[in-house]
Amino acid sequence: MEEVFTGSFTQQPPIPDEAVEAAVAVMRSGRLHRYNLVPGEAGEVALLEAEFAALTGARHALAVASGGYALAAALRALDVQPGEPVLSNAFTLAPVPGAIASVGARPVFVEVTEALTIDLDDLAAKLGQARVLLLSHMRGHVCDMDRLMALCDAAGVTVVEDCAHTMGASWRGVPSGRHGAIGCYSTQTYKHVNSGEGGLIVTDDADLAARLILGSGSYMHYGLHGTAPPAEAFEAARWSVPNVSGRMDNVRAAILRPQLRGLDAARAAWLRRYRTIEDGLRGVPGLTLIERQEAEAFVGSSLQFLLLDWSDAAVARVVERCAARGVSLKWFGAPEPQGFTATYRHWRFASSEPMPRTDRILRAILDMRLPLTFSLDDCMLIARIIAQEVGRACNRKDAAQ
Ligand SMILES: *Cc1c(COP(=O)(O)O)cnc(C)c1O
């Protein structure tokens, strides 16, 4: 009998009791809207903002309705115009080009490397084409941020970081989201803290913070924010920034605050699971692991490996065989988008030139989530199943040649 895995790749741990109780207290109060406060009350959203700013070392933090909202809000705060080109990664998820399209702008995609990070040489060649880079740390892979920032600073390109997969991660000790002018995070169920839906934005720039807060639908309540800049910062902006409501509510903030306190412990737990699977896949013929860099303190909430230059049929067979044994691998090379695996070739709202180097990588990427409900034994079993199936497919493939 072959081993089969029976766990779920989409089952997250329950919300901590402390968070459940805080959320129930908000519901009992009836004051769910962030500005519905009694005298002397800060409110859960403002407290969350203050705590997230402290965690990331940012001057200003804003809690919003989703990670995708955060990205579009950042582009609006930077006054990105309809038709304006915005640089972004070719390897990312649909909300990233979606945010660019939502302000009527046009993505200019940058190639991806075998390390699954943005290709800095291709970026250098394209920097003259845009004023803003929407940088996605896709699946938690962080590029050489020192070199990226040096290139962008020299070219006068403003960086917005999409940290949907890097909340809690850092590069050379600097928290992810703190290199660029604006960092955006998601608190959606499959990210690193879970409020169902939600997002956070950080910046050190008072003018951008004012524009972000007003844009999120603060009316003239901006003084009630956890980390708002001084009133002067709002003087001009309060007349001119359009209100695009996307506020967070007190229930979600209450759910998130205890989880933020547990983020370091969660990162350690993810790392053990990640390394366990990685160890089990080391040396499998035909399989390329993504070697993580020393400077990168990552959150291993998902794991990717490459079947480089395999035929589509051979990759599809691995996906199918692993699925039959309970291991859910997502393939970015499938001709039709499935689940979340759409690629730049599928985004008809964001048309692009073909990118053969990126296509070679996308066709090779297999991706799996690592929810914290997996035990280390689960991780070892998952690695054994993948190693066996990739090994078999590799033998078949070589025999056929
Ligand atoms: C999830 C995700 C987002 C958007 O987050 P939502 O909260 O779902 O809107 C943005 N970028 C990436 C890479 C993501 O995975």
Q: Which domain holds residue 306?
A: 263-400
Residue 93 CB–ligand 1 contact under 6 Å: yes
For the ranges 6-10, 274-278, 318-322, 391-395, the lowest mean pLDDT is seen at 391-395
CA angle 231, 234, 235 (to 5 degrees): 90
201 and 119 in a common domain: yes
Please report whether residue 106 resides in a domain.
yes
376 and 300 in a common domain: yes
CA angle 116, 66, 120 (to 5 degrees): 25
Which atom of ligand 1 is closest in space to residue 136's alpha carbon? 13
Percent of the chain, pLDDT > 90?
91
290 and 255 in a common domain: no
Ligand 1 pocket: which of 117, 184, 188 to mutate (most atoms within 8 A of CB): 188
**Atom 6 (ligand 1) nearest CA:** 67
Please report whether residue 64 resides in a domain.
yes
The pLDDT of 67-74, averaged and rounded, is 98
Give the domain-ending residue among 216, 236, 261.
261
Please report whether residue 361 resides in a domain.
yes
331 and 232 in a common domain: no
Q: Which pLDDT belongs to residue 120?
A: 98
232 and 307 in a common domain: no
Name the residue type at position 266: A
CA of 321 to the centre of ligand 1 (A): 29
248 and 377 in a common domain: no
Q: Is 134 helix (H, G, I), strand (E, B) or coil?
A: strand
Which atom of ligand 1 is closest in space to residue 68's alpha carbon? 9
Residue 201 CB–ligand 1 contact under 6 Å: no
Please report whether residue 2 resides in a domain.
no
Q: Is the pLDDT of residue 300 over 70?
A: yes
Q: Which pLDDT belongs to residue 401?
A: 62
Task: Please give the model's pTM, rounded to 2 decimal places.
Answer: 0.97
Residue 188 CB–ligand 1 contact under 6 Å: yes
Q: For position 300, which CATH number holds? A: 3.90.1150.10
Q: Is 321 helix (H, G, I), strand (E, B) or coil?
A: helix
Please report whether residue 36 resides in a domain.
yes
The pLDDT of 173-184, averaged and rounded, is 98
Q: Which of 382, 284, 274 is nearest to 325 (CA)?
A: 382
Ligand 1 pocket: which of 191, 302, 304 to mutate (most atoms within 8 A of CB): 191
Q: Is the pLDDT of residue 89 over 90?
A: yes
Q: Is 328 helix (H, G, I), strand (E, B) or coil?
A: coil
Residue 72 CB–ligand 1 contact under 6 Å: no
150 and 295 in a common domain: no
For the ranges 144-148, 180-184, 324-328, 340-344, the lowest mean pLDDT is seen at 340-344
289 in Cβ contact with 270 (< 8 Å): no
Residue 168 CB–ligand 1 contact under 6 Å: no
Please report whether residue 9 resides in a domain.
no
217 and 113 in a common domain: yes
* Close Cβ partners of 350 (under 8 Å, ≥ 6 residues apart): 97, 100, 101, 106, 107, 344
Give the domain-ending residue among 243, 261, 279.
261
313 in Cβ contact with 401 (< 8 Å): no
CA of 187 to the centre of ligand 1 (A): 9
Compute CA distances 271 → 177, 357, 368, whole Å.
20, 30, 14
CA of 4 to the centre of ligand 1 (A): 31
CA distance 112 to 126: 14
270 and 253 in a common domain: no
**Does residue 251 or residue 352 have the better pLDDT?**
251
The pLDDT of 104-132, averaged and rounded, is 97
pLDDT, tens digit (0-9, with 9 covering 90-100), for 193-229? 999 999 999 999 999 999 999 999 999 999 999 999 9
Question: How high does pLDDT run on average in the chain?
Answer: 96
279 and 195 in a common domain: no
Q: For position 238, which CATH number holds? A: 3.40.640.10
Residue 136 CB–ligand 1 contact under 6 Å: yes
Q: Is the pLDDT of residue 337 over 90?
A: no
CA of 88 to the centre of ligand 1 (A): 14
Please report whether residue 171 resides in a domain.
yes
273 and 150 in a common domain: no
Please report whether residue 5 resides in a domain.
no
Compute CA distances 282 → 163, 165, 190, 202, 286, whole Å.
28, 24, 26, 38, 11
Number of domains in the chain: 2
Q: Is the pLDDT of residue 330 over 90?
A: yes
CA distance 343 to 161: 19
> Diameter of the chain by CA atoms?
76
334 and 200 in a common domain: no
pLDDT, tens digit (0-9, with 9 covering 90-100), for 236-290? 899 999 999 999 999 999 999 999 999 999 999 999 999 999 999 999 999 999 9
Give the domain-ending residue among 206, 230, 261.
261
